[in-house]
Structure formats: C-alpha cells, structure tokens
Chains A and B, each alone.
Chain A
C-alpha cells in the first residue's frame, strides 16, 4: 500500500476520535475504505490515537467483520443460519465454490474476483437458503439456480442498479390519497420488492394516476413476498403476492384509470405491446390477488395479536408524522408530563413484562434496580445484537418501527434517570442501522432528541454502535466490553450491569422487542397488557417462523399459544409429503421440541420444562428429512465458532463436544461417545462463565433426550433422515429413462452418460451433493 493512502486513516481518526473506545468504529471505517485492514493502517492508528497495539490487534482479530487479507472484487456471503442449513446451505456453498473456482481451504479465487464468506445468519430465514452478493440478497437458492443468479448479480453490478428501499426519497405524501403499499423489509428486498417498488413508481409516473407508492415495513407474510397492498379510501384493500416488476404497469392500470387521453393512449399502446410480448399464455393479474378472506391469509393472521408490531404493513417506517398520527410518542409525552419515574417503573412492573432477549428476566424490577442506583451518570442500551441463527424479529422491528423503538428506549431512559442511550445493532442488518440512524436524525431535526427530549426539560442523547460480528456480544457484559472498544469477552456477574455496567456506571440493557412493547404498555396500561398471555408470561411474543413449514414469516402471538397452533394453524403445517418432526426454538441456546410435545404452550416456564428456551424467538420447523444429530452438530459448530474463547469449559468443551458429534455423523461413533457427550454437555452447562457457554449444550441435550434413537442409529452406521453424507448412498432406480440430465448436472463426474439406458452412480466419486436427485424428472434417484 503506498504511503499517501494513509492520509485516509488520518481523516478517519480526525472524524471519529482518538479515545480507546473509538477502536471499533475506526476499524470499521478503515475496512470500508480498503475493504480489509492493512497492517500499516493499524500501525498508523496506534500512532495517532490512545489505542494501544495490544487493543487494536485484539479487537481486529476478535470480530468476524474485520478482514486481514484483501478481499476479491465481489464479496459473496453464504448464509449459514438454521433455516438455510436445513435447506441445503452447505450444498449451495459447495456449488458456489465449484462455480467460482475457489478451493475449500481458500476464500478468494486466484484472479481475486470473488470472495466467499459464510455468515451466521442474514435474518432472511423464510427465504432459505439465502446468499448475499454485494448488496443484493438472493433467496431460495439452489445449486441449479446459481449460475443464473450470478449472471443477474453481475448484470446488476454492471448497470449499477439503483433500485432502493425508498429511504433516500423525500416524504410528502398526503394521508388521504390512494396508496400502493410495498413491504420493504430486508426479506422483501431479497425477493425483489425493491425493484417492484421502483417499477410501480415508474408505472404510476407513466400513468399519471393520483396515487402514492409507499414503502411500508414488514408485513409478516414473508412466504408471500413481494407483497403489495392497494389501498383506495372507501374501498377494501386488495393484496397481491408474488408480483413481478414487469407486471407493475398492469397492476397500476387495473386500479387507477389514467388521467389524460394522451397518457391513456400511450398507456394503451404499451399495454398492447405488453400483451404481444407476453403472449397468450400470460395469466391475468388477478392471479396474484389475495383477500383478507383468503383462507390462508385468515389462518396466518387469525391467531395473531399485534402489539410490538402494531400497524404492521401499514405505516411508512420513516414517516414521523404518520407515526405521530398513530399515537406515536404519546406514551413518551405522558411519561414526561403526567407520570413520575416511579409510576413508569411501577406500570412496567405491574404489566408483568419480561425480557424478550432470551432469559425472560422481569423488565420492571430490572428498571427499578437501575433507577435506585446512586449517581448522575447512567446508560440505557437497546440490545439489537440479534445473533441467533433463525431469528429476525429484532431486525424487522428496527426496520419497520424505528420510532417505536426510539420511544421505548426514551421511556426507559426517563424511568431510570439516564441521559445517554445507545443502540447496539449488529452490522449484518444494514437497513436497520440506516433506518434507526435516519429516525434519530429526523427526531433531532425537530428538536425532540438531544437537549430537550420531546421539548421537555430532559436531555437525552442517542447514539448507534454497530456490532462487528460476534454472537457473544448479545450477552450483556460482552456487549458492554464491545461498546467500550474491547474484545467482546463476558465477565462474571455479579456485579450486574444494572449496578456496574458501561464505564462502570449503572446500565439498563433491554432487547429491541422488549422496548417495542413499552410504549403500548404505557398507553394502554399494565392491565391491558397483562390481559394477554399466561399467568407468568404476559403479553405477546414475536416469532420468526421458518424452516420446513408452508407459511413462514414474522408473527406475533399471545404468550401461551401452543407450538401446534403456530406450526399448523399459522404456518400451515409441514411441506407437502413431509412429516412435522420437531421445532427448534431459541436458536443455539434453545432446544428441539418434538412434534409429540407440540401442545406445549409457548411461555418461559413451559419451554424451559421441555429443555428449550424462549430465546429471542427463532422458531425453525423441522421435518422427517432433517437429521437431529446433524442439527445438534450444526448448533455446536455455531457456538463453537462464536465462543469468545475465555473460559475453559466453553472454549475447549464445546470443541470436544463438536468433535464427538462429527465422529457420530461420520459413522465413527461408539456408544461410549454418547456417554461422554452427555457427561461433557452437563459439565459445560454448569461450569461455563456466561450464558453462551451455559446454554450451548442445550441443542445436544434436547436431541439426546427426545431423539436418542437417531443417535443410536448413527452408531450402527445409519442416518434415518438420509442426511449425513458419510452414511448415505445415492442410487438410480429402474424408473430411470436414460434422459442423461443427472449425468449432465453431476459436478463430480460420478454418473456416466448412458443415453436411453439406466444410469449408475459411482459411489467413490459421488460427493452426496444431491444435484442428481433434484434434477431427475422421474424421481429415479434414491437415497439410502
């Protein structure tokens, strides 16, 4: 790197600061500039700032975000979340590597064009498996689709695709006009709703219709994205799902007559052209229409109650006035004028609200502890480091309801007497970061944040700290270490952050969803909230429903709803021809609840009793094609990767557990391995220092508890689900017509091309990539 380049480092340091806690933002800015962290730049930072070499190297090597080697021209991220894992993410990665010529031990091809990176979870679980190329996210990827997806990406890249999420657009839309609402959460964008959004805008401009194309937050029905709602005042709304951007023109035309003749003529001309181009096979646009009376939609929405996600799919996430028109900031205003801090805390206490981040610690008492701490300086932190693979509730809430979360955090600050608030948001959620940042700026613009909160005599400064890629930072003490610019290493509690947290000061840390519920509770009262849910678990819970289920999405249900109601009524049950086997609740800290316990209500105590935890609300449905030993191995791999490495039990214990599971999946397990696995799992649970280690064995312990026979089958060399590649064989049955498609698609040349004759698989060459089975039109490829 030439020396003059380091001027950029000087500028970054001037912009961000020189204190030790500036290290993570500085490194993020350097990486933004160079796309990796050049050694010379790090040395320069140490010269310019109070950051020590020990601190900078420690931090730069701790977080996943930071790259210490140059990256290829295009960065491709393969999501390894739970839903993606069970949907074949490994095969996608293998196929991608073959396609790009990147060997298994490398991450970049020889020409430095592509770099592959696996990410723990992109939080688009309903679209699994998901791959992110540059800034574009692609869902439902298969090995077969990859070449096409890659071409699309390179084409978009070449044309510098400007499709946006509307965040850059100005907002002057009147409320009374007709609207076309387009869901623009990250999942929706991944399914192309950004392009649909642009196409609809163009179509409206072309037609001259008096209609606003509006970006709204997550609709929740992720399985139907892109989702469009046409709202004409005085008429029932019309829903469309799965609309292609090419059909935007006809959709607009169907609802809104063009204004002038000249435009009508031009429109008619296009229409003719369209129909000519599309040909006679094209179905009418009504194919996509959904009504609220559509049984599937009714079933999906029927059991839900929306508190954290109130007004979902209707309001523009960034429209502050619209938020105000929907009771926004009313609760905060009352907290600043009518309620004493004591009353706020008491209300939250009486509501029975418990933390939605995982352990379910009662929120009110936590606030009280912080409130009672002496001293002028206290902090409130919104924990948006939602790292569980298979969970995306917090992302959706931050993206769709940024003002609501700000309001919740502000109420918490007023209640405990804090004047500084921090949003800690994981960097894998760029849209959430952008929207919260923009929302804070808009509030500041009106003078509602900063010196006078909502104009009252109460200073509150809000800042954003972006995580740098470390699951463990969801743990309170690790989060604090990270904000302070250190490696995200947890420490022993007590003392709890409520007593001695950030910079040693009392610190309240609440999860995003917890804070999203707070304004509602203050507006409607604790009794109204406590009326939802069960005896010990009040209110509602947002779940990310994904995996092997017909209707995946973001749902909010009252506590106490049973797993069966969620999976079967809301989710529509297992996929065609498959059998619902288990749900994985709570991610890597949670457990697998078998189908026979599906009548377990979802509340903190009931889930704990069956060995799972509520966690943050990831709910991945598994069916009979999923191997439970493989699921346990998958989660151990995750926690093992994400362990901070501080304490012996977690650092080495989870690794040894993983090694045993790998041995079992490879068919090399013996019965004493099961005994050792269970024994070690119990010790790691008891002995680990923080929550990550203490809960890491849960996926192993619950699968051992409910699916021991699957482990035992592996010891005998059999994987009942046909998943563990060392234990399965592919064969071609007599159904084969000799069409040669399998042979053409086999990446390992394991199938000889024998036209019109039954094909055969060379098992020595076969990599068990499943391509042949997927492409065979006759179902002739069997797995044994």
Chain B
C-alpha cells in the first residue's frame, strides 16, 4: 500500500499504512508525552498520557496515540487545550498515586535551592570538588551562611522525625571551608588576599583530625570547580548599591552569568550587616575570603561611597545597563529623595520583577521591607539577579519557575522506621573540636551517612517529572489517602520503590521477553494492582538477566540502581 495523508493539528502529514499516530506526530516533531511506551514492547496503553483527539464522523474521541493506527483522512488534534488538559489530568492522577519526592524536602525548603542530598552524597564519597560545585551553584557566601543560617532545611529533614535532623548546615560549612582552603591564588591577584589562605587567619589553630594537615598539602581545585570560572562577558554592566548579603549574592550570580558588576557601599569594606556579626560566630577572615572570591570573579568595589552624596541614581542609570538597589533599610525620605515610591516599609517594586522604576532600576533585600534572616536576604539577591539577567539578556522578565517536584508529604507512623533504615543509625555528629572548629573530614563523612536521601534517584531522568513540569501538572490536585512508602532493597544492584511505580508494564514485558525464569507480573486488580515477583517470592528473584534493561527503561524512579557508593548516582556531576 502506498502512503497517504492525515491531518495533525491542521497540518497535513504523509504517513505509511500501519504507522501509529505517535510515530506520525514524532515525525512532525511533536513531543507527545509517553510513559509506558517502549517500541520493542509494543503499545501497553496503560499511562494514557499520549492521548490525542481523533475526529470520527464529526464526533471526537480521545485515544492513545501509541496504539492508534493511522487511517486515510484521519483528523487528529494533539496540542489543543482540551487534549493537553486530558494529558495533564492523566499526569496528575499518576502523581496522586506516586509516593515519593523528586526533590528532597530540605532542597525544596532551602530558599536558595541548594541540592542538599546531592552535596551530602558527594561529601560522603569525599568527592569534594563536586560537592563544592553543587554548593556554589546555589550559594554565593557558603562559608558565611554555613555559620549563620537558621537552617530551615533541617526543620524539614525527615531524619528529624526519626531522631534528629542531618546536620545540613554543618556539612555546608564543611564543604565551603574546605573549598576556601583549597582555592588557588587568583591569577590576576585581585581581591583575594594571599594571607587569608594561611591557616592562622582563616581557621582556628589546633584544628583536630586529618584537617589539621597544612592547607598547602590539599590539592588545588580543578578549574571547573573554582568560583572564578566565569563565562564570557555579556557586555552588560550592573551597578549594585549595597555590598551586604543581598548585593553580594546578586553580584555573584550576575558575574557568573557574564555581567560586569560594580558594588557601591557606604562602608569602608564590603559585607554590610555581616560585618556586625561577632568574630567568634563569623571570623572576619571567612567573610573577607568569600567577598574576596566575588572580587576574583571580577566584581568592582566602590567602598565608602554614599548614594545621593557621592553618586546619584541618575548617574548610575546613565552609566550602567541596570541598577540594583540593595542598601539595606531606607527611611521614607531617603526613598523619596531617590525619586522612588515608598510602601511605608521600603521601596515599592513590581513584586514579580523587583523593578522599582522602569526601565532599569531594581531593588531588593531590606530596602523593600526589613529582613531578619540572612538566607532570605540572600535569596532576594539571588532572585533579583535572575530578573536582572532576564532583563539584560532578553529584555523581558519571565516569572520564576519552581522546579517540579512530586511531594510525599508527612510521614505516617508506620513509615518512620522504613525511612530511617535508608541512613546510618548513628546519632547526630557534633564537631569534636567545638562549634568554631566545624566538622572534620571523618566527622563530615559520618554525618553524611545519616542522610536518608529523600530525593529521587531518578530526578532529572524521570519521564513523569519531565512531563509533569512541561504540562504544569499540580501534584496536589487530588487530596487523597496515599500509599505507604516502601523500598525493596534485597536485590544486589536494584532498588524497587513500589510507591513510585506507575504500572506502565514495561518491566513485566521485558522480563517476559528476556525469558526470566520467574519474572515480574501484575498482581491484584483495580487500584490495588502492583508489580511483583510471582508466587510471593521476593522482588529480587524476579529480576535477574533483565535487571539493567528494566532499570534503564523504567519511566520513573520505581526501579533504580543501587550505587556502589552513594555518590555514584548517575548524572550527578
């Protein structure tokens, strides 16, 4: 038979007989979501995320694209709001029965979005270069924050429900301190004073444990992990008024995006309110080391410069492509003097864009309203930097998108022990050298082992997460009685989490095709259907020769490889 033509979203497509609608759509470049489709298994038609609307005698029907064969004259709708709604509902229904978190609670809570469990796995494996990179992706002043943060992440830590939360802040500080110790001298010799790298300045003496060795003996960071690794210049410049936590954070992220930054501060040294912190809690050397890092990224500091006295806002507007006001709290008359509107607590902005005055004046931090918590001030700077980057690179500012995450919610009583067994049973590690000393390498590894790794092994490699994000699926649309968390870890290489299984049937088909002696099967019926090894045998027995194939093709994190080391999770570079 020769090829014929069908209509897909109003476009004519040439197809060959026997082709499925999915194949035809992919030819057009349409990304119809599929979770249960694997070509060599044939259509399993379980997820129904691939529905399209087929017009038949004037009446439209939703059918799975993966199993519907093209017919001459077929008219298909794929990207209409009705079809997308149905797909989104399918995804939301699957998510409503999906027990797991894509991102761990600590990660979701962190206002700066630090991928905590990834960093902890890197600490645990002593792959500190990677840990530093993870940390610095999110946090501008980690050694500072690691000492001062009120750690909301630890309030969300599941380990806290079992005994006490993982010492996330201490681990963060451990990674940051290690990085500072290993930071090579800046080639340009700018900003970062050599003497700060010397032991006596940066770290208390008599530091116990392996870390007591000379910092010079630690190998320098590879180029890629260095904070100073900057992308090519964008050619744009930003004036930042205020070199406190908000301004420094904004500068850090803008510099990393290739924009030149000049920071103006009324004080003689950068740091703003951080300079008021007592030296025991935050040694001056630590603050200076991290502000120095920002300088090494290319930041220009104009200290002892007062806005309105030494430089006017109009000046800055003329000289720079954008201005960010982060000077801390301002009085009403100061705001008015700048020609800006006041809300009563601070500068009035467009809350989504941090824009105070079109086109190029932005404001953030305590200049808007008083901020008590350091991490909030920093997250304001981070978000303002994102807006500025959008403004500078695109001319328009898109609203922030939160990364999608399925949410497991509070633990049930029966789940606490199951969850706790994902980490070492040890009690929370307190630094033997005291709070000022921080964790040693050995202590850090020991504490890292306590982490329960609540995030999903498949995060970033999960079709459900991917399409849920693309379709704006709401994992909380249906309130429900959820299943209990369960993890079957008897298999040598594979971990099975039944709660994350969407019953696509791919592993059942693959084990059958592979001729597994036992294999996997669906058991029960209706809402109670599960994938299991038959005859009440352990799951591990059902998955022998096809194990790797099944893990690779699992559309979610229901099947995942155990790692030889916890940091061995794929794709975590």
Contacts and interface: CB of A to CB of B under 8 A. Distances in A.
Contacts of B502: 648
Given A643-B526, A648-B47, A492 B63 contact: yes
Contact of A53 (B97, B519, B525): B519
Given A54-B508, A54-B518, A54-B521, A649 B90 contact: yes
Contacts of A640: 526-527
A647 B96 CA distance: 14
Contact of A656 (B96, B511, B526, B537): B96
A641 interface: yes
Looking at B49, B69, B478, B534, the one whose CB has the most chain A CB atoms below 10 A away is B534
Please name the 6 residue pairs, one residue from A and one from B, whose CB atoms are nearest each other, closest first: A57-B534, A645-B529, A54-B521, A53-B534, A652-B93, A643-B526
Contacts of B85: 683
B324 to A, nearest CB: 41
Interface of A: 39, 42-43, 46, 52-58, 61-63, 470, 487, 491-492, 494, 640-649, 651-656, 659, 676, 680, 683, 686-689
Given A654-B527, A686-B86, 5 more contacts: A492-B68, A644-B526, A646-B45, A647-B47, A686-B62
Contact of A652 (B68, B97, B520, B521): B97
B45 A687 contact: no
Contact of A492 (B64, B97, B520): B64
Contacts of B523: 57-58, 61
Nearest to A641: B526
11 contacts: A39-B536, A57-B523, A58-B522, A58-B534, A491-B45, A492-B45, A492-B63, A646-B529, A649-B90, A659-B479, A689-B48
Given A54-B534, A58-B534, A648-B48, A659 B481 contact: yes
Contacts of B535: 39, 42-43, 46, 53, 56-57
Contacts of A53: 518-519, 521, 534-535, 537
A353 B519 CA distance: 47
Nearest to A469: B525
A470 B525 contact: yes
Nearest to B68: A492
B526 A652 contact: no
Contacts of A641: 526
B46 interface: yes
Contacts of B68: 492
Contact of B529 (A43, A63, A470, A651): A651
Contacts of A491: 45
A613 B480 CA distance: 31
B90 A54 contact: no
B89 interface: yes
Interface string B348-379: 00000000000000000000000000000000
Contact of A645 (B48, B61, B69, B522): B522
B130 to A, nearest CB: 38
B170 to A, nearest CB: 42
A687 B51 contact: yes
A450 to B, nearest CB: 37
Contacts of A655: 97, 480, 527
B40 to A, nearest CB: 18
B518 A652 contact: no
A648 B90 contact: yes
Contact of A54 (B48, B478, B512): B512
A162 B520 CA distance: 47
Contact of B480 (A42, A55, A656): A656
Nearest to A55: B521
A649 B93 contact: yes
B531 to A, nearest CB: 10
B45 A652 contact: no
Nearest to A660: B478
B534 A643 contact: no
A638 to B, nearest CB: 11
Given A54-B508, A54-B518, A683-B89, A644 B94 contact: no
B534 A683 contact: no
Interface in B75-102: 85-86, 89-90, 93-94, 96-97
A265 B69 CA distance: 83
B283 interface: no
A644 B45 CA distance: 13
B89 A56 contact: no
B524 interface: yes
B61 A686 contact: yes
Nearest to A470: B525
Contacts of B48: 647-649, 687-689
A696 to B, nearest CB: 11
Contacts of A644: 525-526
Given A57-B521, A656-B480, A651 B526 contact: yes
B25 to A, nearest CB: 17
B215 interface: no
Contacts of A680: 89
B36 to A, nearest CB: 9
Nearest to A656: B478
Nearest to B529: A645
Contacts of B69: 494
B46 A646 contact: yes
B467 to A, nearest CB: 13
A54 B519 contact: yes
Contacts of B479: 659
B22 to A, nearest CB: 13
A689 B93 contact: no
Contact of A56 (B49, B481, B527, B534): B534
A646 B504 CA distance: 8
Contacts of A56: 534-535
A596 B534 CA distance: 53
A646 B46 CA distance: 5
Contacts of B45: 491-492, 646-647, 689
Contacts of B230: none
A689 B64 contact: yes
B43 interface: yes
Nearest to B87: A687
Contacts of A494: 69
A198 B478 CA distance: 58
Given A640-B526, A652-B527, A656-B480, A492 B521 contact: no
A17 to B, nearest CB: 20
A252 to B, nearest CB: 51
Contacts of B521: 53-55, 57-58
B282 interface: no
A648 B501 CA distance: 12
Contacts of B67: 492
B93 A653 contact: yes
B503 interface: yes
Nearest to A644: B525
A687 B46 contact: no
B96 A652 contact: yes
B94 A652 contact: yes
A642 B526 CA distance: 6
B278 interface: no
Interface string B147-179: 000000000000000000000000000000000
Contact of A648 (B61, B94, B508): B94
B528 interface: yes
Nearest to B515: A52
Nearest to B477: A676
Given A53-B535, A647-B46, A648-B90, A62 B525 contact: yes
B90 A687 contact: yes
A751 to B, nearest CB: 34
Contacts of A62: 522, 524-525
B526 A645 contact: yes
Contacts of A645: 503, 522, 524-529
B555 to A, nearest CB: 12
Nearest to A494: B69
A757 B269 CA distance: 90
Nearest to B516: A54
Nearest to A59: B521
